[in-house]
Amino acid sequence: MTLAHPLVTEKAMVLLENTNQLSFIVEKEAGKASIKAAMEKNFGKKIVSINTMMTSKGNKKAVITFEEKNAAEEILSQLGIV
């Protein structure tokens, strides 16, 4: 499983509202191509870009930008978070 769970923090919610981006914790070995494939397969939304980084706790975080205007909000509502 490439995607572990969505990261729901105050900063992540600002990104969601302003720039249509979602933050996910992903496996350390996951590359951008595998993250993109997993997101498009699971949620069926087109992705513009993916930025990955390692957190200070040693987790890998992916910030995913979607093409559709409200795609990020729709995904979180599908997951039952928003």
List CB contacts of 12: < 8 A, sequence separation 6 or more: 6, 22, 23
Domain 3-78 has CATH 3.30.70.330: yes
Q: What is the pLDDT of residue 32?
A: 97
Where on the phi/psi map is residue 80: left (φ > 0), alpha (ψ -120 to 50), or beta?
Answer: left
Q: What pLDDT, on the 0 to 100 scale, is given for residue 24?
A: 97
The identity of residue 71, as a single letter, is A
- pTM as predicted: 0.91
Q: Where are the domains of the chain?
A: 3-78
Is residue 82's pLDDT more than 90? no
Mean per-residue pLDDT over the chain, rounded: 95
pLDDT digits (tens, 9 = 90+) for 47-81: 999 999 999 999 999 999 999 999 999 999 999 98
